[in-house]
């Protein structure tokens, strides 16, 4: 029997309210959503008593952790061993004051606990686009663009409509990695028409300027160009728009978070310590901007030689340990091999998903897992925010 919202509601009736009764009988449970092995709960401690003050953070945290134990026990009784769970405590106005999040890659004994800083409410979405996901990194050279493009192609191969925006204004990579050199940018009635290659729509500054000339722009010019790419592109209907950000924590990520409502961010990191340090800064940046980090990807996790053996050149598992330390979901590890390098240099990322052209089965398996894990995290984040979808059971 699948896990249902009724099972979760029954579990929450076991959580006592400090003022008497339990969370359910006092009407504190505002929303329960369940989708396969993911669930979201929204609790208003002051429901029915807006004059009541919120308890301290430790009280809410302890209440949430106990609620999680009961919910996980109910899930296990109904065949769900690895539950992705978000518990939001909200105030009487509906603003999140405390978020507890744990998933299949996070210890149930130590769920991520964070104070929610809502993203700029004046930020708008992109018409026709369901989910906008930023792919960022704390430093350059970690393969952020490679991850963004393969993530977009992987989602498209699973039947989703996907777009990818090259937000790295100063160092655009899409022209090479998607094989756009022979394509000309077209404009219809003042609106940019995206390229359609490898099953994804794409737009890049690299096709709007001469390829061999650097962009020597100050911040405001970069801001304007970035807005033009987002707002003046005819994306059409998309399930996902992947935005490849420039490295670091500078102007463009700040502009993006302040102007566009994001479903979340993906952080790319390599295993070594110096990359982890910068990735932590990127995670803290997104947190300060009110953008949820959907997960961490460990790129160049290991090298696959021509002999088929794995070599841990950079120390496999470092980024995964960092994600666990920060309480962030870990989306997966991507190996590096000669085929991956050649396919991206030749502008044919589709070949990374076929064993015969990807140097074996490890790379396609890793990229498919990455796409699946991201979809699961987006679903969990959407349920936490109260977004509705046909596959959800929402009360």
183 assigned to some structural domain: yes
Backbone angles phi, psi at 87, to 5 degrees: -120, 120
Residues 153 and 100 grouped into a single domain? no
Query: What is this structure's pTM?
Result: 0.78
279 assigned to some structural domain: yes
Instruction: Report pLDDT for 358.
Output: 94
pLDDT, one tens digit per residue, over 211-262 is 666 555 555 566 567 777 888 899 999 999 999 988 766 677 777 777 788 8
Instruction: Report pLDDT for 105.
Output: 44
Whether 257 contacts 291, CB under 8 Å = yes
Residue percentage of the chain with pLDDT more than 70: 85
278 assigned to some structural domain: yes
pLDDT, one tens digit per residue, over 344-360 is 999 999 999 999 999 89
265 assigned to some structural domain: yes
| pLDDT average, residue stretch 148-154 | 97
235 assigned to some structural domain: yes
Q: Which residue has the tokens 């890793």?
A: 366
Count of domains in the chain?
2
pLDDT, one tens digit per residue, over 322-345 is 888 887 889 999 998 899 999 999
Type and span of the H or E element at 68: helix 57-77
Residues 21 and 75 grouped into a single domain? yes
pLDDT, one tens digit per residue, over 264-323 is 999 999 998 888 888 888 888 888 788 889 999 999 998 887 777 788 887 788 888 888
168 assigned to some structural domain: yes
- Reported for 68-73, long-range contacts at CB under 8 A and 24+ positions apart, including other chains, are 68/100, 68/102, 68/108, 68/111, 69/108, 70/11, 70/12, 70/14, 70/15, 71/8, 71/11, 71/12, 71/39, 71/41, 72/108, 73/11
CATH of the domain at 224: 3.40.50.300
216 assigned to some structural domain: yes
Q: With 50 as the cut, is the pLDDT of residue 395 above it?
A: no
Residues 258 and 197 grouped into a single domain? yes
Residues 133 and 95 grouped into a single domain? no
Residues 110 and 135 grouped into a single domain? no
Residues 16 and 46 grouped into a single domain? yes
Residues 95 and 137 grouped into a single domain? no
Q: Which domain holds residue 160?
A: 129-377
123 assigned to some structural domain: no
Residues 111 and 135 grouped into a single domain? no
Mean pLDDT, all residues of the chain: 83
Q: With 70 as the cut, is the pLDDT of residue 374 above it?
A: yes
CATH of the domain at 63: 3.30.300
Closest CA to 177 of 214, 136, 157, 148: 148
Domain limit, last residue, from 84, 116, 148:
116
CA 275 to chain centre: 19
Rounded Cα–Cα distance for residues 189 and 55 (Å): 56
**Both structure tokens of 373:** 């894990």
Domain limit, last residue, from 56, 84, 116:
116
Binning the chain into helix, strand and coil, the percentages to the nearest 5 are 35, 25, 40
Residues 112 and 255 grouped into a single domain? no
CA 336 to chain centre: 22
Instruction: Report pLDDT for 6.
Output: 93
Residues 335 and 212 grouped into a single domain? yes
Residues 102 and 167 grouped into a single domain? no
CA atoms lying within 13 Å on the CB side of residue 28: 31
Whether 10 contacts 74, CB under 8 Å = yes
More confident residue, 155 or 224: 155
Residues 94 and 141 grouped into a single domain? no
Rounded Cα–Cα distance for residues 77 and 82 (Å): 12
Closest CA to 78 of 31, 37, 33, 35: 37
Domain limit, last residue, from 87, 116, 145:
116
- For β-strands 96-102 and 84-90, DSSP reports them as antiparallel
């Amino acid at each position: 029997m699948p896990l249902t919202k009724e099972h979760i509601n029954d579990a929450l009736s076991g959580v006592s309210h400090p003022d008497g009764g339990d969370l359910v009988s006092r009407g504190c449970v505002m929303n329960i959503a369940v989708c396969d092995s993911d669930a979201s709960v929204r609790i208003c401690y002051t429901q029915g008593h807006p004059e009541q003050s919120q308890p301290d953070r430790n009280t809410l945290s302890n209440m949430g952790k106990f609620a999680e134990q009961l919910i996980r026990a109910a899930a296990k009784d109904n065949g769900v061993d690895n539950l992705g769970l978000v518990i939001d405590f909200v105030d009487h106005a509906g603003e999140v004051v405390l978020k507890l999040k744990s998933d299949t890659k996070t210890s149930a004994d130590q769920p991520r606990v964070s104070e929610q800083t809502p993203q700029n409410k004046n930020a708008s979405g992109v018409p026709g686009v369901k989910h906008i996901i930023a792919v960022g990194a704390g430093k350059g050279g970690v393969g952020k663009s490679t991850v963004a493009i393969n993530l977009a192609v992987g989602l498209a191969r699973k039947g989703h409509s996907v777009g990818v925006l090259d937000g790295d204004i100063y160092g655009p990579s899409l022209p090479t990695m998607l094989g756009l050199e022979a394509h000309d940018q077209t404009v219809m009635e003042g609106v940019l028409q995206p390229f359609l290659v490898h099953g994804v729509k794409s737009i890049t500054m690299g096709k709007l300027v001469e390829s061999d000339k650097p962009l020597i722009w100050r911040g405001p010019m970069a801001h304007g160009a970035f807005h033009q790419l987002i707002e003046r592109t005819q994306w059409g209907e998309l399930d996902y728009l992947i935005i490849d950000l420039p490295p670091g924590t500078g102007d463009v990520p700040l502009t993006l978070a302040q102007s566009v409502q994001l479903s979340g961010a993906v952080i790319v990191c390599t295993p070594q310590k110096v990359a982890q340090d910068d990735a932590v800064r990127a995670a803290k940046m997104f947190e300060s901007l009110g953008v949820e980090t959907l997960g961490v990807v460990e790129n160049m996790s290991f090298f696959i030689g021509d002999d088929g053996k794995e070599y841990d050149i950079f120390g496999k598992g470092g980024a995964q340990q960092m994600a666990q330390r920060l309480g962030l979901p870990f989306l997966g590890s991507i190996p590096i091999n000669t085929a991956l390098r050649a396919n991206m240099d030749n502008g044919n990322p589709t070949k990374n998903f076929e064993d015969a052209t990807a140097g074996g089965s490890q790379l396609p398996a890793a990229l498919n897992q990455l796409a699946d894990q991201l979809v699961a995290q987006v679903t969990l984040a959407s349920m936490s925010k109260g977004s509705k979808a046909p596959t959800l059971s929402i009360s």
